[in-house]
Amino acid sequence: MLSEYFAVAVLIIMAAGLAIVFVLISHLFGPQRPSHVKLDPYECGIDPVGDARSRFRVKFYLIALVFVLFDIETVFLVPWAVIYRSAIASWGGLFIFWEMLVFVGILTVGLVYIWKKGALEWD
């Protein structure tokens, strides 16, 4: 059974080896003229100011976490919307409707809570 995977293993080894060879050749034969301008970090045409390792406030992470939470909610709503029409035809679909209403209700209560706490205020 392992002989069936031999060709795949050879392909992976050859691909990794070829990548290593290309990197080594470009490093050995490429031009090596470092300068201050070349070693300076570049971001979107804006000259860097200050330290790149600056600290972010906790509010930034909180808003990112809330965004991910509601993004995942959308991921759960899309398949539900796709099967809802066929569920209505097969067995009424009331259970699926109320189940999703409870899910959205819990998330709405969470959204109202973080809104009232001021977690979405970007000062």
For helices 94-117 and 58-91, what crossing angle results, to 10°? 160
pLDDT mean across residues, the chain: 84
Which range is least confidently modeled, 23-27, 102-106, 108-112, 115-119? 115-119
Q: When comparing pLDDT for 84 and 113, which is higher?
A: 113
Burial 43-70 (b: 16+ CB within 10 A, else e): eeeeeeeeeeeeeeeeeeeebeebeeee
Token pair of 109, please?
């209560």
Q: When comparing pLDDT for 5 and 36, which is higher?
A: 5
| Euclidean distance between CA atoms 108 and 97, whole angstroms | 16
Task: Average the pLDDT over 73-100 and give the result.
Answer: 81
The pTM is what? 0.50
Confidence of residue 98 (pLDDT cuts 50, 70, 90): confident
Q: What is the DSSP letter of 43?
A: B
Task: Average the pLDDT over 82-106 and give the result.
Answer: 81
